[in-house]
Chains A and B, each alone.
Chain A
């Protein structure tokens, strides 16, 4: 670039007429700068464009053009012959049309499906309210307690004219939302306590917290879930029994607690020492100092990584499939056990995946926006 200007300055005015300068604005220039700046870039762009177009066409063929949306049902047995004759050339969305209620709500009584549906809506409303910054205060605690109570009443029933539904019949999306929401609601206070304990000056408390965090983080979640499903009954006195969902819930809570504790501890460490010393200088007691000075600032610092950890746990609740709890993924996997629908796993997994994707994508977009907002004072 610099050569051009140098030459222009020293060029003889009577030299051959120069060509017009290269366009540096507009779509053509954008293409040149971003896709075809060198021969290697051109090659990469062309190969990628070719592959993308081919795959997109293939996907549209599979998902829409060749797809079968409904199949005839003869005497309660769906006739999936047409789907099988496609031999993978097209999707068989009929399996979703037939089974979506089962995948979403499991074996919950069919005519009561409005209850889990309402529960899911309540959960989503709860997330949206918690995400709004104007509600970030003590108001959130009664909102959470109230909503979770209503959710419990709706799922169990037995009062207010709702019929009683035992926990064994719950399933699908509500289970995934219950496991992740209750898990985080209990894991978060635990994590704050453990993080404070790990930074404590009292050696015995510090040891306990370090032991808990490192032990839990060193083993996979599956081993904790196995522990909850196989070993936990041995821990309890005879005759006392806790149902399987609650045991898995305890395992997930303990697991999430250890990871969240590390995130919170990072926040406590990043907070400048001066804040601790200033609080000490004011003569505040430990709990006043922690509750009014340290935690509000430290937690604010780690909100983006906290949300990322939440996304991780939302996905990790799907592991309860391995101990046979009926969450969204288990319901999807069970839906294709029926002989008529065997072999249509891809369609079901795409459907279940889309649900997970919507939730996780919303959270991750929110986390990115939040990170930008909270760091506004730092960017120039």
Chain B
């Protein structure tokens, strides 16, 4: 099949190119006719739709263009990562929407991966009860529409008691119909620096591990990476934090009057959306992880055991690298699905980009622009995720001859 094995004398020649004959039996002519026909029909339909739209817009006196983005929005937004007032522009409101979408998508992807992997491994467990429970979870969660699950969670969260009778499972954690409240610390510049030190430590550990691996390739001696890793990732941030005066003021939510103050709040809308998305996507990820691990043949396990490797080492060095090749492509589409499914937020009142763009197009009548913005945002996110995952996939892919 590969060209290198073919006779080198035939490599360049190929069939002789004849001039196109004006006959239906000429394959190339048929190809051209078909393409012209199909493209022509599609172009005609598009032109027809386009001219109708232009005419309709004229009749309804709707001005096209993105000029409305600079106008005052006047729509209230419940939660926002950046400061926002109803007097701000539509541009800012839509930015808030994009950030809210990213907030739920990123947290959702991370949590769904963790939960899904755990459930997938649990399904393969030797413990009969555990594997059956995991199987039941996967079967039920995958057979119910996500929208139904979201509405269900949201209804449950709304029927929780009010702030005064809030559930208080652990000290400082409150669950009520105002959402989930978690204790936090008062955020100071020192914490930012410590966070930065953590990132630096992480990068440093990666570089260190790479250098150690290079030296192991040179002399065959394995070297321990974890002591340096812990020093860099725990010690360095602690050092930065203490040199800056070690500020630590716990910020515990407390009931004042009719509502809570302090701590960080997860609104019921965000909490319901996150819960629904994570549990739903985890069901699919669990199946992918299970299929991936099962795709590694039993002989690989047995061969590794015969070499005297420990179970953890076998999983890490033999099975997972092979399983990941099967896992990554479908996992990518699950991440994309989660991001796209976060648009269901509009049904339970979490203000993501779809919800805000929808309000915008209702207020301004700019239907085409509003939907174009929604599509553009999702296309950008989807393409970025698939670009990143393709890059990762090509990195771990099997290098074949």
- Chain B 128-176 interface residues, beta-carbon cutoff 8 Å to A: 128-130, 133, 139-140, 142-148, 151-152, 155-156, 159
Binds A, one of B71-79, B189-197, B204-212, B377-385: B377-385
Give the residues in chain B near A227, CB-CB below 8 Å: 371
Q: Is B57 an interface residue (CB 8 A)?
A: yes
Q: Is A321 an interface residue (CB 8 A)?
A: yes
Indicate whether A202 sits within 8 Å of B34 (C-beta atoms), given known contacts A235-B52, A356-B148: yes
* Residue from the list B39, B53, B148 in contact with A353, Cβ < 8 A: B148
Q: In whole angstroms, how far apart are the Cα atoms of A364 and B370 in the complex?
A: 38
Give the residues in chain A near B358, CB-CB below 8 Å: 226
Q: Is B35 an interface residue (CB 8 A)?
A: yes
Q: Is B215 an interface residue (CB 8 A)?
A: no
Indicate whether A230 sits within 8 Å of B361 (C-beta atoms), given known contacts A202-B35, A219-B340, A222-B344: yes
Q: In whole angstroms, how far apart are the Cα atoms of A167 and B125 in the complex?
A: 52
Q: Is A361 an interface residue (CB 8 A)?
A: yes
- Chain A 347-378 interface residues, beta-carbon cutoff 8 Å to B: 349, 352-353, 356-357, 360-361, 364
Contact with A along B345-356 (1 / 0, CB 8 A): 011000000100
Contact A44 B130 (CB under 8 A): yes
Q: In whole angstroms, how far apart are the Cα atoms of A34 and B132 in the complex?
A: 11
* Residue from the list A37, A220, A353 in contact with B354, Cβ < 8 A: A220
Q: Is A4 an interface residue (CB 8 A)?
A: no
Give the residues in chain A near B140, CB-CB below 8 Å: 357
Contact B343 A222 (CB under 8 A): yes
Give the residues in chain A near B347, CB-CB below 8 Å: 321-322
Q: Measured between C-beta atoms, what is the minimum distance from A41 to chain B in Å?
A: 5
Q: In whole angstroms, how far apart are the Cα atoms of A356 and B346 in the complex?
A: 22
Q: Is A160 an interface residue (CB 8 A)?
A: no
Minimal Cβ-Cβ distance residue in B for A209: B38
Contact B367 A234 (CB under 8 A): yes
Q: Is B127 an interface residue (CB 8 A)?
A: yes
Binds B, one of A65-73, A143-151, A310-318: A310-318
Give the residues in chain A near B341, CB-CB below 8 Å: 220
Q: In whole angstroms, how far apart are the Cα atoms of A37 and B147 in the complex?
A: 41
Contact A346 B147 (CB under 8 A): no
Contact with B along A316-357 (1 / 0, CB 8 A): 101101100000010001000000000101100100110011
Q: Is A35 an interface residue (CB 8 A)?
A: yes
Q: Is A1 an interface residue (CB 8 A)?
A: no
* Residue from the list B35, B126, B155 in contact with A349, Cβ < 8 A: B155
**Interface SS, B side:** helix
Contact B35 A205 (CB under 8 A): yes
Give the residues in chain A near B35, CB-CB below 8 Å: 202-205
Q: Measured between C-beta atoms, what is the minimum distance from B150 to chain A in Å?
A: 10
Q: Measured between C-beta atoms, what is the minimum distance from A341 to chain B in Å?
A: 13
Give the residues in chain A near B44, CB-CB below 8 Å: none
Indicate whether A223 sits within 8 Å of B52 (C-beta atoms), given known contacts A205-B34, A218-B382, A357-B140: no
Give the residues in chain B near A35, CB-CB below 8 Å: 127-129
Contact A222 B354 (CB under 8 A): yes
Contact with A along B33-75 (1 / 0, CB 8 A): 0110011001000000100110111010000000000000000
Contact B148 A329 (CB under 8 A): yes
Give the residues in chain B near A88, CB-CB below 8 Å: 159
Contact A346 B155 (CB under 8 A): yes
Q: In whole angstroms, how far apart are the Cα atoms of A329 and B145 in the complex?
A: 9
Q: In whole angstroms, how far apart are the Cα atoms of A346 and B149 in the complex?
A: 11
Q: Is A29 an interface residue (CB 8 A)?
A: no
Minimal Cβ-Cβ distance residue in B for A206: B35
Q: Is A117 an interface residue (CB 8 A)?
A: no
Report how many residues on chain B are interfacial, defined by Cβ distance under 8 Å. Answer: 52
Q: Is A48 an interface residue (CB 8 A)?
A: yes
Contact A346 B159 (CB under 8 A): yes
Give the residues in chain A near B152, CB-CB below 8 Å: 345-346, 349, 353
Contact B144 A353 (CB under 8 A): yes
* Residue from the list A45, A233, A329 in contact with B127, Cβ < 8 A: A45
Q: Measured between C-beta atoms, what is the minimum distance from B272 to chain A in Å?
A: 12
Indicate whether A361 sits within 8 Å of B371 (C-beta atoms), given known contacts A37-B126, A322-B347: no
Q: Is A243 an interface residue (CB 8 A)?
A: no
Minimal Cβ-Cβ distance residue in B for A223: B374
Indicate whether A333 sits within 8 Å of B151 (C-beta atoms), given known contacts A202-B35, A357-B143: yes
Q: Is A236 an interface residue (CB 8 A)?
A: yes
Give the residues in chain B near A318, CB-CB below 8 Å: 145, 147-148
Most buried by B among A49, A227, A349: A349
Minimal Cβ-Cβ distance residue in B for A52: B133
Q: In whole angstroms, how far apart are the Cα atoms of A240 and B252 in the complex?
A: 61
- Chain B 176-228 interface residues, beta-carbon cutoff 8 Å to A: none
Contact B374 A226 (CB under 8 A): yes
Q: Is A201 an interface residue (CB 8 A)?
A: yes
- Residue contacts A-B, CB under 8 angstroms, 25 given: A34-B126, A44-B130, A204-B35, A204-B39, A205-B39, A208-B38, A218-B378, A218-B379, A219-B379, A223-B354, A223-B374, A230-B371, A231-B368, A233-B56, A234-B53, A234-B56, A237-B52, A237-B55, A238-B56, A315-B143, A318-B145, A319-B147, A329-B148, A353-B144, A357-B144
Residues of B within 8 A of A (CB): 31, 34-35, 38-39, 42, 49, 52-53, 55-57, 59, 126-130, 133, 139-140, 142-148, 151-152, 155-156, 159, 340-341, 343-344, 346-347, 354, 358, 361, 367-368, 370-371, 374-375, 378-379, 382-383
For the complex of A and B, list the 10 residue pairs with the smallest distance between their C-beta atoms, beginning with the closest: A360-B143, A34-B128, A345-B155, A220-B340, A315-B145, A204-B35, A220-B343, A318-B145, A218-B382, A218-B379
A-B contact sample (14 more), CB < 8 A, given A356-B143, A357-B143? A41-B127, A88-B159, A204-B35, A208-B42, A220-B354, A234-B367, A237-B55, A238-B59, A315-B143, A315-B146, A346-B159, A356-B144, A357-B140, A361-B143
